[in-house]
Amino acid sequence: MGIRILREEAEAFRRAAGGVTVFEPRHRTRGDVFAGKYLDVPGGRAIDLSGLDYLALGSDPQVKRVMAESLERHDCGIPGSEAIIQTGQSHLLEQELARFHLGCGTAITFSSGYSTNFSLMEALGLRTNSHFIRMHRDAFPVPATEPAPTIFFMDGDLHFSARHGIRFASRLNEGACVAHTYRTGDIGHLAALLRRSMDSHGDRAVRVILTDTLESATGREFDMAELCRLAEEWDCLVYADEAHAVGVLGPRGRGVTAKVADFERYRDRLVIMGTLTKVFCQPGGYAAVGDPGLATLLKFCSPQHVFSAPVPPWIAAATVRLIGMVAGEYGETRRERLRAVARHARLRLAETGFDLVGDVTADTPIVAIPLRVPRLGGRVLEFLRREGFVVSVFQKPLMPAGREVLRLAVRADLEMEEVEGLVQALVRCREALPFTGSG
């Protein structure tokens, strides 16, 4: 009976979820070759504007040689947990990531960006009250966590992975981990919540401000200077999710936070989270931490770090070389090209009557068009695929009702003729399916 119940639930879910874009892949590639920019999909070749290889390193022969040389030099097996052994390649990767973002400290690496956020929220939320450490308290010669809660202040659009980790921590130890949500980008609302928390807890609390620096759906940049200023005023840690900004924005591609004036002044209260999966074209996620002691605490209060396999050594070694490339002249040339393509795309879309989310002159590689008729989302994706473009739709449950968007992830290797082809395809799509609300 139990298996039948499960199967019936699964079938009902499959039928009900058929119209929701997130529950079933809208596109599948065909053939033996994954070609990055050009995808072989039903109907023919299409340009991928849903991917995250913003600098287009994945198709660069120079980058491929780095990967091939690393694989040739190192075994492709994966060692055990870093609680048992850490390879020299993983250690060097941690050092280079920290140097890249902060100029000092170390980094903590995970097998994915999702597990990075989830695990570090658990670690920050529970500290030495971590479930893993509490289970084995006799094996850890450390004092119990101070009777001071962790209070998280989450931007309203914070990534689900971080929210998931905070919910998990708060369920494990109610009262020791508290979360407040401030309206997206609303510094005044955040300041009011911080003031209220000081009234209720005084200085006997660990306060953490959590934000994306570049919103993945819309390309919106957040005001990291104001967040850092508030963090200093209220003695907070700032956890900055730079996943979509690493390599793309900021000096040497170090992200939005690195653009803050007097960055060094705030460095000790920053945790910079990023992923390897976008600009670096590798699996994995990480967080750079200036204080080695805090890094150790976060590592071993993160059960996923203790029990999961690490980033493979050959990937770690290749990524170290890629960090140098991205931070140097090679990366800057790519960023200049990406900025030019993104600005041209925004300008042409505005000229043809499309409303855009954010400033037309923005530098971000994410271009978003409001999807004012959400029920057309799936049909818009199919229309554009037939036109030769794979794009993304962000709507419920990925985006709140009323803020749905069509997202275009621009690549540095897009030709201007291809941008014009995209613009004309969108114009034809708007005429056939008035997804912008006109007509």
pLDDT digits (tens, 9 = 90+) for 324-337: 999 999 999 999 99
How far is 72 from 101, CA to CA, in rounded Å? 29
DSSP H stretches of helix in 17-146: 61-73, 88-101, 113-126, 131-135
Mean pLDDT of the residues in the chain: 90
pLDDT at 21: 55
Proportion of the chain in helix, strand, coil states, percent, rounded to 5: 50, 15, 35
pLDDT at 18: 65
Q: Residue 430 above 90 pLDDT?
A: yes
* pLDDT tens digits, 193-205: 999 999 988 888 9
pLDDT at 364: 93
- The residue ranking higher by pLDDT, 399 or 439, is 399
pLDDT at 228: 97
CATH code, residues 27-54+332-432: 3.90.1150.10
* pLDDT tens digits, 92-142: 999 999 999 999 999 999 999 999 999 999 999 988 777 666 666 666 666
| Residue type at position 125 | G
Helix (H) or strand (E) run with residue 39 in it: strand 38-41
Split at pLDDT 50, 70, 90, the class of 11 is: confident
Reduce the DSSP state of residue 366 to 3 states and report it.
strand
Percent of the chain at pLDDT above 70?
A: 92
pLDDT at 209: 98
pLDDT at 135: 67
Split at pLDDT 50, 70, 90, the class of 211 is: very high
Q: Are β-strands 150-155 and 177-182 bridged in parallel, bridged antiparallel, or unpaired?
A: parallel
How far is 130 from 117, CA to CA, in rounded Å? 15
How far is 351 from 401, CA to CA, in rounded Å? 27
C-beta separation of 292 from 285 below 8 A: no
Reduce the DSSP state of residue 173 to 3 states and report it.
coil
Residue identified by tokens 């807890």 is 201
| Residue type at position 216 | S
The pTM (predicted TM-score) of the whole model is: 0.92
Split at pLDDT 50, 70, 90, the class of 83 is: confident
Q: Residue 49 above 90 pLDDT?
A: yes
Q: Which of 255, 411, 253 is nearest to 329 (CA)?
A: 253
Which CATH fold topology does 64-327 show?
A: Aspartate Aminotransferase; domain 2 (3.40.640)
pLDDT at 302: 86
How far is 433 from 384, CA to CA, in rounded Å? 11
Domain boundaries, the chain: 27-54+332-432, 64-327
